[in-house]
Structure 1
Amino acid sequence: MELKIYNPVEDGFIKKIDWNYEDLKAEIETRTAEYAASVYNDDSIKNAKDDRAKLNKLKDALEGKRSSVRKQMLEPYEIFSSEIKSLTVLIDKAISNIDGQVKDYESRQRKMKEAKIREFYDANIFDLEKYLPFERVIKPSYLNVSTSMKSIKEEISAMIQRVSEGIALLNDTDSPYVVDMKAEFLKTYDIGAALAVKNRLEAAERKRQEYEAERARQKAEREVKEKAETEKLIQAGKKEEAAPEQKPAPQEAPKIAVEQKTVPEEEPVCALDFRVYVTKSQMEKLKKFLNDSGIRFEPVPRQ
């Protein structure tokens, strides 16, 4: 079945349109050269408009003829093109029917191949399925006719072995980051990536410990300094208690009180005002002495 053109025959197609191109070209070149060199002033502007109109009319005539010839040339082609399209519609209908059946066959073949791949996977995965599910194993390219079962089995076997060895290595790893390492490994099945996670976390922990150690050192230095300052203040207080500054007059009061206590007969009570400079502990001792001696005392009103 082939398409045959009866008219025009193969060498009957028009090759060139013959017309007075050269004569018309020479005439137009002469006339346009004159117009191109023309100079118009205000008085001759009407002539310029007339000349422009003549040239536009000539141009429109040429363009009109070109469109007319094009239409005449395309008319037989348009008819021919429409007839061809009517035939391709019939062919497309037949292709569609066949294409549906071919695709159905290919779909069934892909499902059968996937079932075989699943069967091989189930027979070799053992207890690794939770780490390497079938969905992570199957690839769209495996279902192509061009991909052999031999290459698929080799690739799956290598993947199962890689995961098995990686999980075994991680299970034997004594590291606080083994959970993070396993999580990374199960993303990529790349033991190198898992070890990189371990190194990164260990480096971060070292930095944290160094930071905490530095904080502890600074805190210890502050505490030592504060303790030294406190001890210095305590020692200064002890020196002040050992050598308090006292005035002579207040020291006579206790002697007077003692002498009064030793008098057997009752004497009239006298009021004696004086100021005593003492430390806190000395003040407590003085209060105890006065109380024990039965000497009444009270604050002196401020002047």
Structure 2
Amino acid sequence: MNTLPKINIESPVVTQGSILFPAYKKIKSDSLLLAQQIENIEVTEENVKQSKKLLAAVNKEVKNLESERILIKKEMLEPYNEFEKQVKEIVSIVKTADEMVRQQVTQMEEEEREDKKLVLKRMFEKRIRMYDFKTYFTFDDFLENRYLNKSLSINKIESEMVEWLTKIETELKAIETMPHADEIIAEYKETKDLAVSAQIVSDRHKAQELIKEAKNDIKDDQLHTKITFTLFDEKDVKLVEMFMQQNKIKFEKVEK
């Protein structure tokens, strides 16, 4: 890559502007005196027209002075406005070029991430073929966004991949020894967490047992139209409520 030329920033030459206003003190003094006199005027029906003419004349002079101020400000700002325009033009040129390069860098980095992803996918598919659970999990189950970062080497990721596959194999073997193994495996495919998966299935069956007991109590006493059973665990209460609602069973909750 060729060395980029440098932009040598030389400070612009600034000539300090000045505005001479020698009549300032006299005009200010006259204005104070005029303002005092205006404040002391007592407007009556006899002098109202004269008062209006006086105010109109005063306001005309003030307006002329204000117009002069605006004109001078515009003239003083003209050099700065031209300088600002030139600077913005230069900044725009550099920013446009900078954005083009940034887009190319981003595109290149995305291509590198995709290439790395392909390498990892081939590695994963090659390794998972040696495991019995090869049809349970895919590369997407293993992939984490950080694996595609340039800072993480292929060797490091391969080491974590082996650990991940070994963990899956060990936990699946443990699941096979548990009650309701098929259900736990189904949950495990989603959670990748043995403890969480086993707890979900256990809670589900516990709720089903509670409902079954409640139904048996109803069958034992057909004369009663209402059955009351007591749950001591708040978690059991929520599980029973959920089962009742899902199966559209009418029930009444009485809290004591």
TM-score of the pair, normalised by structure 2? 0.63
1:18 aligns with 2:21: no
Specify the alignment match of 2:206 in structure 1.
203
Specify the alignment match of 1:35 in structure 2.
35
Specify the alignment match of 2:127 in structure 1.
124
1:161 aligns with 2:166: yes
CA distance in 1, matches of 2:154, 2:64: 77
Aligned residue for 2:221, secondary structure, equals: helix
Contact 1:180 1:197 in 2 (8 A): no
> Measured at CA, do residues 182 and 74 of structure 1 come closer, stay the same or move farther in structure 2, by a change above 3 Å?
same
Q: What's the CA shift for 1:24?
A: 3.3
Aligned residue for 2:207, secondary structure, equals: helix
Letter of the 1:70 partner, please give it. L
> Measured at CA, do residues 153 and 73 of structure 1 come closer, stay the same or move farther in structure 2, by a change above 3 Å?
same
Larger RCO of the pair (alpha carbons < 8 Å, separation 6+): 2
Q: How many residues align?
A: 212
Specify the alignment match of 1:58 in structure 2.
65
Q: What's the CA shift for 1:76?
A: 4.5
Specify the alignment match of 2:184 in structure 1.
181
Aligned residue for 2:135, secondary structure, equals: coil
> Identity over aligned residues, as a percent?
14
- Name which of 218, 222, 227 aligns with 2:221: 218
TM-score of the pair, normalised by structure 1? 0.55
CA distance in 1, matches of 2:166, 2:33: 88
CA distance in 2, matches of 1:104, 1:185: 37
CA distance in 1, matches of 2:33, 2:68: 20
CA distance in 2, matches of 1:173, 1:13: 85
CA distance in 2, matches of 1:128, 1:80: 65
Question: What are the Cα deviations for residues 162-215 of structure 1, in whole angstroms up to 9, with x where unaligned?
Answer: 32233222222223xx44432321112011221221232133123202321331
Specify the alignment match of 1:245 in structure 2.
none
Letter of the 1:60 partner, please give it. S
Alignment of 1:254-265 (within 5 A): none
Q: What's the CA shift for 1:106?
A: 4.7
Contact 2:17 2:76 in 1 (8 A): no
Contact 1:137 1:156 in 2 (8 A): yes
Unaligned 5+ runs, structure 2: 226-256
- Name which of 109, 112, 117 aligns with 1:114: 117
Alignment of 1:222-301 (within 5 A): none
Q: What's the CA shift for 1:159?
A: 2.1
Contact 2:136 2:189 in 1 (8 A): yes
